[in-house]
Amino acid sequence: MNLSDPSDDDSSSDESSVPCKRPRADTYGASSTTSHGSIIQESDEESPETQFTERYASDSHRSNKIRLSYTENSPGRATRLSRSSLSENCSSPSEQYDDFRPGFKDNDSEEGSGRQSFQMSNDSTFYNKPSENNKDINTYTSGYSEISKRLMSNMGHKPGKGLGKFEHGRVEPVQASTQKGRRGLGLKPSVVGDVPQDFKWSSDDALPEAKEDVVWMPVSSEETLNGDDLEKWLKKGHKKLSIEDETDFVDPQVLKGILNSKTIFDNLDGEDMRTARSRSNPYETIGSVIFLNRAAVKMANMDAVLDFMFTNPKKQNGEPAVDKKDLLYFADVCAGPGGFSEYVLFRKGWRAKGFGFTLKGSKDFKLSDFYAGTPETFNTYYGVNNDGNIFDPANLSSLKDYVLKQTDDIGVHFLMADGGFSVEGQENIQEILSKQLYLCQCLAALMLVRTGGHFVVKLFDIFTHFSVGLIYIMYRSFEKVCILKPVTSRPANSERYLICMWKKVGTESAEKHLFSVNSILWNSRSGDDDVMELVPLSVIQEDREFYEYIYKSNCIIGERQIKNLLKIGEFSKDKTLRDESQAKMKEKCLQLWELPDKVRTKPERRGPEDTLTNVLNISKITNGIHSSYSFKNTYLNRPPRYLEQASDLRTMFANVYDWHFTFLSSGKNNSDLRIFIACGGKQVYQLEGSNWRIIADLHITLPANTLLYGEIAREYRGQGGKQMRSKALHVIDAMVLGGIDISALPLSERVNQCNLFCNALEKPDDAQALPIRCKRFFNMESFSSAIANLEYRAMKRTKKALTVDIPKRGQRNDMFYEIGSLLFIKEIKEPWIARISKKSGCKYYYCVGPDRKPRSEYYIPDKAQLDMISAYSDRVMWPWESASAIFEGLPNFPLSKVHMEEHIGLQI
């Protein structure tokens, strides 16, 4: 689209043979060629002609008042008269102002003056007299005020002729500049081209709706495709860069209309196009609301319309696909800067873990701009070649390894793909240029999505055999498939989304085949060889329901696109047009999608004290606590009770079934065992007395509004002189995790939530980030079996030490830590107690009520759940400073494992 200035050709004065020297009188006379620049001209602003007429019609106005009024009511106009246009016979520049002042008086000009005033000019009568060129005169003088006409007449102007002694001045007034911004002069006009006659847009067309109709393809009863058929169907050829003849899956008239409708904007300025598009689109004002970009709102739109199948996925039987003990895993490929992922994290918080893959560079993920959703659980990966190129087969293979390693070799619950690149000047063949992008995004879904998972990918036109064949392969690989153009996708573009639900079992053949096809395209990227078909037309047409769905979808979306392109054309021509339903659609859509109607704002960064206050407000168990200072001193700084003598066992552990324990690397009064609070990102603090100390040197990254109990543990790998040591944060318990209150849950559920939290934050490929792990707890009645797993290992600085393996998840390379103490935490609140059923062997919970009636349950009742703060205040630590003596049960030792086993044995 080129810019233009229609007045550029007439911007300079006409040339004529004028003497190079003139008498002095002419120097300040009306013959100056610059005088036309002082004439009051028309503009797009409201004309002040009425003001001038009303003011000059009254005889009671004084001349000085009139002159001031004239000046004040001419903003932005060329009201300053040039020297040469003030008087015909001024002898000096200063004299002209004396002549100018009385000229504004109403028939009160000074007598004896030889100079003409505006009222005394006899030549002004020609404006009201008929002449031979009356038509031209009326045309030329229409729209000008009487004052401007008298002014011109006073300077000797005659209609149709120029000013000056030789009447050589320009006849037409100088055109107002149409240049916009810093655009160059001389560009072509910004105009809409000829509109195709086969399609019309009418303001009477159907009113916009907030909710789209989702039409699914008929469910395929056939099995997944096998590799032999796919290999046999593959058709190669030479690269093709034309789309006009691709009419097997769309009405030829619709395809022609789409291509022709796009050409009407070839000469329309880009800014004019965007402005008209914004005014014509009923959904335009929705914008990006609280998110990074409009892509996030598109994902919210599709998620809500599809019954939140992505952020709240369900199995085919209707049961939740993700329970409370699991994370929601997702992948986001070709999707920088990350709007899709920001939306998912907005919905799920840290309970969702994402894997992002996109090109490095200006379109990379902008995690620091994830204001709506926490970015701490989002992992970026760029492949083995570290460039994020999804076309590279090596990158795809490494991406699969990376994701499966962190999802227990199962894969993600869903994958989103929103790839696209600029095709300026080649919009009509965008589909052909994007074929490998289509392919690789679908291949990524087959590689990364778990069985029963979902997939959404952005497509553009789907007219070619290659595109439809690819959709057919996905159709045979998922239980349900549809093509959807959400309302947030601008109606005049060719964008649409392929939605695939519930991946089938046995898609490995399709995955392997598409990987092979991509390798062919990758290896022939600089040549003329290409893959033309993935599935023959005959095979597609045999599946009549699939074929008709694709054909009808292309025609419906195509016709809507044409009409909206023509609508933009009309709005470009008439700048007063605006879709009146924009405000209504925004309100309805945001309500339907469950999004707040707010402006995107940067989240407030709180300090540790403010964060603690916010945590207290979030927690259900701290309703009576309003002072963060008293909360720290009363609860958080409370030391544990220490188990030192065998006689302490009876008083501390009256019922062993109520307790759980874990192994610590910290000993008594060790500073590594602390309360930690997170303000977001690397703003993590540990409590030391009444003060918070930042621990930025450890490179811990935690979501804001997190308060947990943990220790900085020393972890080891290997033995003897080759032993390596590192640090990790071991989470023991927590009150609030990333703004989610878990303080009222029983200990076993809190530990499970802490484990999910640590898994979500795990970044195995980030060498700088401090690992975060959750402690493993054991039932106290299982003390003997837990102790049996301890192992002596040769250390680098000591002969041997009693150690325990770190909690296993994936490959931890046989890492372990040295035991410094045991920590016991109670789970059951009195008067409830836990017991083991002799019949079933299961644990149950027993209580005698106020009415002295016994009550027992196989689940922990709410009244029996000991909250986090109470459990933390009542915790018991057994220091193992002499670990060997305790472990081996040496005689005459105050407290050893033998004493503990005996105490437990008496209650079992």
Residues in CB range of 714: below 8 A, 6 or more apart: 665, 725, 726, 727, 817, 818
**Interatomic CA distance for residues 313 and 825, integer angstroms:** 35
Q: Could you tell me whether strands 691-694 and 684-688 are parallel, antiparallel, or unpaired per DSSP bridges?
A: antiparallel
**Interatomic CA distance for residues 106 and 63, integer angstroms:** 8
Q: Which of 493, 461, 492, 488 is nearest to 571 (CA)?
A: 492
Q: Among this protein's residues, is 480 annotated catalytic?
A: no
**Is 863 exposed, middle or buried, given 0-12, 13-18 or 19+ CB atoms closer than 10 A?**
exposed
Q: Can you list the alpha helix ranges (DSSP code H) found in 24-128?
A: 24-27, 49-57, 63-72, 95-100
**Interatomic CA distance for residues 456 and 482, integer angstroms:** 10
Q: Using alpha carbons only, give the angle 790, 793, 796 rounded to the nearest 5 degrees.
A: 145
- Catalytic pick among 400, 458, 503, 563: 458
Q: Which of 279, 276, 286, 304 is nearest to 191 (CA)?
A: 276
- Dihedral sign (CA 145, 149, 155, 157): positive
Question: Which 8-state DSSP code applies to residue 626?
Answer: -
- Catalytic pick among 8, 392, 418, 543: 418
Residues in CB range of 805: below 8 A, 6 or more apart: 789, 791, 812, 814, 815, 816
Phi, psi torsion values for 326, nearest 5 degrees = -125, 155
Q: Could you tell me whether strands 378-380 and 412-417 are parallel, antiparallel, or unpaired per DSSP bridges?
A: unpaired
Residues in CB range of 441: below 8 A, 6 or more apart: 333, 334, 390, 417, 419, 457
**Is 258 exposed, middle or buried, given 0-12, 13-18 or 19+ CB atoms closer than 10 A?**
buried
Q: Among this protein's residues, is 435 annotated catalytic?
A: no
Q: What's the start-to-end Cα distance of the chain, in Å?
A: 85
**Interatomic CA distance for residues 667 and 366, integer angstroms:** 42
Maximum C-alpha span of the chain: 137
**Interatomic CA distance for residues 641 and 181, integer angstroms:** 74
**Interatomic CA distance for residues 608 and 408, integer angstroms:** 36
Q: Among this protein's residues, is 158 annotated catalytic?
A: no
Complete DSSP assignment for 515-568: HHHHHHHHHTTTSSEEEEESS-HHHHHHSHHHHHHHHHHHHHHHHHHHHHHHHH
- The residue ranges of DSSP E strands in 113-255, in sequence order, are 235-238
- The residue ranges of DSSP E strands in 408-448, in sequence order, are 412-417
- Catalytic pick among 149, 298, 563, 586: 298
Q: Which of 266, 417, 406 is nearest to 341 (CA)?
A: 417
Give the catalytic positions in this structure: 298, 418, 458
